[in-house]
Amino acid sequence: MIRNLLLLLFISIAFNANAFQNDTTAYQLQRLKVNALLSERSNKFGQYDQSLDNRTGIFGFQTKGDIKKSNEILRQIVLNDNNIFKELKILLDYKDQEVKRVQLEASSSNSRIQNYMLSIKKLQDENERLENETNNIAKSGPIYYLTILLLFLFAALSFFYYKKYRKASEGPFA
């Protein structure tokens, strides 16, 4: 019975580990996606910084084209930031799911442990009761047989005395 319980526990742990690995893989992929977006943002910001230094106009001033390029790069940075926020939200959702799953698993494990402990306690109590009953039977066994033997001897002696008394009361002349 214990072997079956251990086998069942091992199988459930194996399935949980596989599910945990899938969640962790999705989380890691999401982290890589966020890191790629952050790297892209850093590159775009470098381009924006360079575009601010571009001065192709007369007397070293910026032209409308330069300003438009800088604004377009800045717009791409803002769009990228929006994507980063969306992906971070997904990443945080994964993290929240993982925390909830771990809490649920801990609660489930706790309840299973409590149930196992309760079962073990019941089995120990039953075992103790059976041992006490066995000891009582073992202790009372010789006394029981001795009591029966004494009753049988008392009955036999009573019968012999009754017979002897009856013969004596009938007398030799009866």
Q: Taking the chain (174 residues) in consecutive chunks of 10 residues, what is each chunk's mean pLDDT?
A: 57 55 77 90 86 72 82 90 91 89 93 94 95 82 79 91 81 58
The reply to whether 157 falls in a domain is no
| Number of domains, the chain | 1
The predicted model scores a pTM of 0.48
Residue 148 inside a domain? The answer is: no
Domain span at 126: 2-142
Question: Has residue 168 been placed in a domain?
Answer: no
Residue 160 lies in a domain: no
d(CA 53, CA 78): 20
Q: Could you give the CA distance from residue 138 to residue 147 in angstroms, rounded to a whole number?
A: 15
Per-residue pLDDT, 86: 92
Asked whether residue 106 is domain-assigned, the answer is yes
The answer to whether the CB of 73 falls within 8 A of the CB of 44 is yes
pLDDT of residue 121: 95
Residue 150 counted as domain residue: no
Q: Which helix (H) or strand (E) holds 91?
A: helix 64-170
Phi/psi class of residue 60: alpha, beta or left (left: φ > 0; alpha: ψ in -120 to 50)? left
Residue 53, domain member (yes or no): yes
- The answer to whether residue 100 sits within a structural domain is yes
